[in-house]
Structures are given as C-alpha cells and as structure tokens.
A = this chain, B = another copy of it.
Amino acid sequence: MGYTIAQAAEKTGLSEHTLRYYEREGLLPFVKRTPGGIRSFQDSDFEWLALICCLKKTGMQIKEIKQFVDWCKEGDSTLEKRREMLVGHREAVVRRIADLRKCLDNIDCKIRCYTSACEAGTGAPYLCTKKG
C-alpha cells in the first residue's frame, strides 16, 4: 500500500497541485500508479521528496533539480556531476545565509532606531541605516 496524493501532500507540507506540478516537470519520475491510474507514493519516495524540498527551499530552480533527477536516472556515470552540483549549490546556500545575516544586522540596527524614536515620540525615517 502506498499513500494517495492527499496523504503525500499532508506528509510533505506541499499542496496536491504542487506535487502534480513537480511530477509534470519531471521531478518525481518514480511515483507509482495503481492499475486505475491513481498515484501511490511509497515510503522511499518521501526521502526523494525531502531532498527535492531541501534543494527547492534553498533556492534551486526546478530546471536544475530536473537536471539532477535526470542524471540520477542515467546511473553511476553521472555521480561526479551530481556531486559537483550539490557542492556548488552548498556554496550558494552558505553565501545566502551570510547575506541574510548581514541584512539581519541592518534590520536590528533599524529596530534600535525605532525603539528610540518610539520613546521620543518622533524620529526621522532616514536615520541610521548602517551604524548602531
């Protein structure tokens, strides 16, 4: 027995629409069907979905994920390529996190400015964009 699309949506947090969309785009070539044509997600499929979600959430495009999936289907000859793609993506995620951290510092500084301004009851919006 497998999971229906509704159960898979529940389990992954994705919508049924999105799951069908991902399948249509070639990201889920492994999902089995019942003789009647109904999708039957297996336990092992959720590991794949977890990776796909992980790549997606960290900003990888559908096209790139599809490339990765296509390479997987090709077999061991593409192991190196796949590894390189993951390493490259890892760097991108690290840069993104660093960027977010920097932005967070700016936001924190702005919040301090607003805290002072709120106490004073007035404050120039141009104030304090960089230094705390």
A residues whose Cβ falls under 8 Å from a Cβ of B: 44, 47-48, 50-51, 54-55, 57-58, 72, 76, 79-80, 82-83, 86-87, 89-90, 93-94, 96-97, 99-101, 103-104, 106-108, 110-111, 114-115, 117-118, 121-123, 125-126, 129-130
Contact = CB atoms under 8 A, between A and B. Distances in A.
Nearest to A85: B114
B79 A123 contact: yes
B107 A100 contact: no
Contacts of A51: 106, 110, 129
Given A72-B125, A110-B86, A57 B99 contact: yes
Please give the count of copies of this chain that the complex contains.
2
Contacts of A121: 76, 79
Pick from A58, A107, A115, A121 the residue with the most CB of B within 10 Å.
Answer: A107
B118 A90 contact: no
A57 B114 contact: no
